[in-house]
Each structure stands twice: as structure tokens, then as C-alpha cells.
Structure 1
Amino acid sequence: MKTIVTLAALLFVTHLASAQNNVASDLSESDRGITITVEVPVMATEGIIIAGLYDENTFMKAAPLQGTESAINDGKAVLTFSNVSPGTYGITLFLDKNGNHTMDFEPNGMPKEMYGVSNNVMNYGPPQWKDAQFEVGTEPIKMEIRL
């Protein structure tokens, strides 16, 4: 049960951050950080994908550094995190089927909505930093995260 509560907290925090996409639009193009583009293949035709970008200090502990969301078009959602500084990060996301911006759960604590994590490692229990982390250097990143 503790695992389910932790997973719920992660996804709730991702939701809270979806409104705070920290893009520094006033910076010149040469001063901006790296762009991370995430493609999520989705079989569903309804709902939105909500995602959060974390560092080691915030992963599963606090609000993400950036949050974003995307509609589903042509069997996929495309999310963008902008102005990301070089470093080590992890991404979590979920399919919000009913648009309430909250991860929904069954009465027994199991998720009703599908979720995914960077590197596509899915274990029983909440996502682990060691599995989700990836490096951001000086080049833009494109990745796929499966639900």
C-alpha cells in the first residue's frame, strides 16, 4: 500500500506542475538550455498526456522542475521540455483519460490510468531514480516513453 501511495503522490505532483512549464522565453536563442522532446505512442483516442521533468532531488519527492501536457493526435502525444540545463534528469508521465489532471486509482489502490517513465523501465511499485535517470548534455534530446 505504501508503494501505491508513493506512486499516487508522484503522479499528483506531476499534475500540479503541469501548469508551471518553466520556459525562459526572454532569453536569446544562444542562451537557452537544451530542448527535450518526448514522443508517447498512445492507443487511446481520448485524454491527455501529463508529464514532469525531475532531477535527483525532486524525483518522487517534490514538484517537478518543469511540467507539460499534450493532446493525443494520430496515435501519439508529443511533449517538449525547454531551456533544460545540462545535468541528470528523469521524466514521469501518465495518460489522463478523463481530463481531471489527476491520476485516478481503483479502490484497491491500483492505477486506473496508464503511466510511463524515462528509459521505459517498469517495475512493480513506484519508479526508481536509478532506472529513470538520463543525461542532458549540449545537444537536443528526442526520446520515446511508452505507457
Structure 2
Amino acid sequence: MKTFITTIALFISLLSFAQETTHTLKVTVPNATSDKGEMVFALNTKETFMVAAPVQSAAVKIEDGVATVTFENVAPGEYAIIVLHDLNGNQRMDFKDGMPAENYNVSGGQMSFGPPVFGDAKFTLKEDTEMSIRL
């Protein structure tokens, strides 16, 4: 009986080690031009960046030009964030004459002409992380 209980205890402890460690990612936009609308955040992998639904997303209120979101239970790996100041709350980027009509940026902050590129926006998540993305 003692061996059986020890075996069960060992099995349960091994299960806890088998579970993948996840992390928390806190992202702040410190410089919204107004509190109008909401800030939309999209956490993407290379496979979802600009082509599919993000791994996680959130829309939050802007207060005094600052918006902050916390993504929970994020597996270690390479990610990129797209952030959009959604002025009219329609949950998508609006365009005027083919150009974005609302402010946006990506992690890494490297904006060029044309759509964002995953390689410029990617970062590696290995631990709980806080980052800032300026618009």
C-alpha cells in the first residue's frame, strides 16, 4: 500500500512538471492622442500576423492618453503585437484614400511604408514581461 501511494504521489508531481510554463505580458501605450474610442491590442505568432485571428486580443479604455492591457497564460515563444487606436469602436482599422485613418504601431516600433512585417515586430517571450508601444 505504501508503494502504491508513493507511486501515485510521484505520478501527480510528474504531471505538474509536464505542464508548460506560461507567462504574463503587460503592454502599455503611453501616448494616445485622445481618450476617444478604445485601444485594440492583438498578440500574434508568425502564423497569425496580419492573416488570421490573433492568439489573444483585447480592447481597453484610454485614460489620460494611456492604455494598458495584460495578456495572461502566454506560452513562451516568438510573438508580435499590433496596437490600434480605434477611434470609432468598430474593432478594425479604417482607411482614407488607401492610408490608415487611425493611429497604430507594432512591437519593435519599426514602421515603414506598407503593411507591418512580422520580422520587424517580433520579440521572444521567455518570462513575465512589460513593454511599451508608442503610437
TM-score range, shorter chain: 0.7 to 0.9
Which deviations, in whole Å up to 9, do the C-alpha atoms of 1:67-93 show, x marking residues without a partner?
A: 111100122000111100000000001
| Distance in 2 of aligned mates of 1:77 and 1:109 | 27
1:88 matched residue in structure 2: 78
TM superposition shift of 1:112? 0.8
Q: Is 2:129 the partner of 1:141?
A: yes
TM superposition shift of 1:119? 1.0
CA contact (8 A) 2:20 2:75 kept: no
TM-score by length of 1: 0.74
| Distance in 1 of aligned mates of 2:36 and 2:50 | 27
Q: Secondary structure at the match of 1:89?
A: strand
Equivalent residues, number: 116
| Distance in 2 of aligned mates of 1:40 and 1:67 | 15
Q: Secondary structure at the match of 1:45?
A: coil
TM superposition shift of 1:144? 0.5
TM superposition shift of 1:43? 2.3
| Distance in 2 of aligned mates of 1:87 and 1:102 | 26
Which deviations, in whole Å up to 9, do the C-alpha atoms of 1:31-87 show, x marking residues without a partner?
A: 761111000021212110001111111112211111111100122000111100000
- Kindly report which structure 2 residues correspond to 1:1-147, keeping only aligned pairs within 5 A, or say none: 33-41=22-30, 42-106=32-96, 108-137=97-126, 139-147=127-135
CA RMSD, Structure 1 to Structure 2 (Å)? 1.5
TM-score by length of 2: 0.81
How many percent of aligned residue pairs carry the same amino acid?
Answer: 44
CA contact (8 A) 2:35 2:61 kept: no
| Distance in 1 of aligned mates of 2:88 and 2:61 | 12
| Distance in 1 of aligned mates of 2:60 and 2:75 | 22
Where in structure 1 do 4 or more consecutive aligned residues deviate above 2 Å?
A: none
Tell me which structure has the larger Cα radius of gyration.
2
TM superposition shift of 1:111? 0.9
Long gaps (5+) in structure 1? 1-29
